[in-house]
Structure 1
Amino acid sequence: MNNLNRKITIKDVAKRAQVSIATVSNTLNNAEIVKPETREKVVRAAQELGYIPNLMGRQLRSGETKMLGIFTDSISGPYFNTLIGAIANEVDRLGYGMHVIVTNSHNAVMDSVLGGIVDGAIMFEHRIGQMDITQIKNHGLPTVLIDRVDSGKKMSSITFDSMKMGHDATKYLLNLGHKRIGYVDGFSNNYDSNMRKAGFRQAINEAGLDINDMPILHGMYEEEIAYNAVKMYLYQTKGQLVTAFIASNDQMALGIIKAIQSSGYQVPDDFSVIGFDDIELAQYFRPSLTTVRNSIERQGVMAVHELIDMIHGVDGGKKEILPGKLIIRESTSIAKSD
């Protein structure tokens, strides 16, 4: 009886190609012992029959899934689009697949990380605490952190030099004569936001200015939230206003500029604005945005390579810190004299 719905097996491929089952298995697993002409016959037979390898069986035999996990609490916005795109392209180029796990559940993240569904993890996940990091280290899953600095035998981190660039951006404004600068931060549990703010504070202290005179507004990495925060600040402040703002990302910086303009002021004539990341829109916005350029694509590619190296037995332990660069555009200028 000819069952058209019968699943094609490796035995069927071997019969069509007129080789042994072992030869088919070696071919599908890219073993070097298979001759090129034999490999071509097996591949052609598998394609003709529509054979689909049993990936779960291969995983059980090899202990590998050929899948990498990207764990994050958000994939919205230009930063994540660039990062995830760079990771996906490199993962595909190197012959792996990837799961992107976006969840607000701490337990779901840890179950996925430790559950054996991936060979390694790239993590940008704020709900993961130090106890979780220790558990992941003990479990031995190769992991690259891109939102905090840590390391272990099977753990590395690749982060931006956010503190230095927060310092440098603030010092640039100070050198332009700005003595009252507002800072618009992201999430309180975000590494980059906290480091950028720490660099801001350091530069203010080095200049001999009172950090308490520098308002900290909360923008939550969102353009609209930053817009509302700055709009409210400009409306409610009765004393001297700041003359410049630094935002922890470009989306918030664009929201700040819109809030300034909708309040009857101009950038940079009345207020200077600096962002972070140098998203594509930053150069086309009017006024074009002065910002800190971070190597987002490079971070993604480096994370993939470091992770696959650890999967293949290379020890981790790296704490890579990528430099940034201040890009001067139209949204900053010399402060007006009081």
Structure 2
Amino acid sequence: MTVTIKDIAKIAGVSHATVSRSLNDSPLVAEKTKKRIKELADNLGFEFNANARSLSTNKTGTVCAIFPQKFGEFGASLYYISLLNQLRTSLEEEGIDLIVSFPKSSKTGESNIKRLIISKKVDGIIIIHPRLEKIDGQIINFMELSKIPYIFLHHYSSFYEENLADSIYTDHFYGGYNATDYLIKLGHKKIMCITSVGNSYEFEQRLNGYKAALNQNNIPVDENLILFGYRDIASGYNLVRDNIKSITDKGVTAIFAHTDLMAIGAMEALKEFNIKVPDDVSIVGYDDIELAEDFKPALTTIHQPREEIALLGCKRIVEMINGKKIKNKINIVLQTRLVVRESTKQIK
């Protein structure tokens, strides 16, 4: 038998309105009464209708995270999944559900963001996409006109330069610099860099950081030691295997891989040529995914501040959803940190 608000009101000895207000957490009802009615509803197995709540509060209790279309691919998804889990945990503490979508429908090509806003399915939007402005240059104007709370996380966007959007992202230049400088301090001078193809800002910045560290330490940048591939294990493996002669002939003693998966692939390739990590070649990765610590040897890597990104991003979106008056857009740059494990070694 389905339990209704009328049933709860009769048992509690209060009006229907009081039950409804209590379940909607209205300030018009005393906390003691709200607590008693909520406990009674739980004990009776009452399921509050989300549509009914949305009619009375104009809120759905749901936020959408917009990810790149390649989110589901193994090579691209491990860091995103870690970030997604952090976001989900933070929002659940606020009683908010998280759903995942992409900028455009794979079937119709229409904007998923516009559809979600027009259909009033979400209270806010978290955008974790590196090139949203190239996919839909008018989406910021649409979100602004709709008054829906939104924030950009993790990826740098040109929207930030114009102060059009709230943003929290990572300083990838420092991450690239820190990884390379650490290897230099261990005595390495011939440092190969394996990075990603394409025009991704974050990978450009990691590469710029690599070059800056070399220049700062008066080590010439050898463009032949900068290899471009994809972000997965297979690419790291193939890049090192296909360039093993360059590694041995040029006396490469360290590799900086711009993802942990590329670093793991590189280590597997080196093993096939009996090149030991870290005795012969040290390796530093980037991201600090869970697999980095479990792999043998455990991977020295650059940790991306996904916990801080999630906490600060969720705090901001919840404030906006709850109607807090916010005067200025925020632009927060978070720093990476080096995590030293077993894949690097001092050389004499």
Q: In which range does the TM-score fall when normalised by the shorter chain?
A: 0.7 to 0.9
- Code of the aligned partner of 1:233: N
Q: Match of 2:98?
A: 98
Q: Does 1:321 align with 2:304?
A: no
Distance change (3 Å), C-alpha of 1:210 and 1:40: closer
Paired residue for 2:117, among 114, 118, 131?
Answer: 114
4+ long deviations beyond 6 Å? none
Q: Match of 1:228?
A: 238
Distance change (3 Å), C-alpha of 1:175 and 1:86: same
How many equivalent residue pairs?
Answer: 330
Q: CA deviation at 1:196?
A: 1.0
1:114-263 alignment to 2 at 5 Å? 114-115=117-118, 116-129=120-133, 131-132=137-138, 134-135=140-141, 136-146=143-153, 147-149=155-157, 150-151=159-160, 155-186=165-196, 188-206=198-216, 207=218, 209-218=220-229, 220-234=230-244, 240=250, 242-263=252-273
Tell me, yes or no, if the aligned pair for 2:167 and 2:331 is still in contact at 8 Å.
yes
Q: Where does structure 1 lack aligned partners over 5 or more consecutive residues?
A: none
Q: Which moved more, 1:82-91 or 1:201-210?
A: 201-210
CA RMSD of aligned residues (A): 3.0
Distance change (3 Å), C-alpha of 1:47 and 1:279: closer
**Which deviations, in whole Å up to 9, do the C-alpha atoms of 1:13-59 show, x marking residues without a partner?**
33443322211221111123324554355335544654433322322
TM-score by length of 2: 0.81
Paired residue for 1:60, among 47, 55, 63?
Answer: 55
Distance change (3 Å), C-alpha of 1:186 and 1:210: closer
Q: Match of 2:79?
A: 79
1:32-43 alignment to 2 at 5 Å? 32-36=27-31, 38-39=33-34, 42-43=37-38
Paired residue for 1:300, among 286, 310, 318?
Answer: 310
Q: CA deviation at 1:301?
A: 1.5
Q: Where does structure 2 lack aligned partners over 5 or more consecutive residues?
A: none
Q: CA deviation at 1:127?
A: 4.9
Q: CA deviation at 1:167?
A: 1.3
Q: CA deviation at 1:279?
A: 2.9
Identity %: 28
Distance 2:190 2:138 in 1: 40
**Which deviations, in whole Å up to 9, do the C-alpha atoms of 1:270-326 show, x marking residues without a partner?**
322111122334344332322112322222122111111122334251111112222
SS at match of 1:155: coil
- Code of the aligned partner of 1:61: S
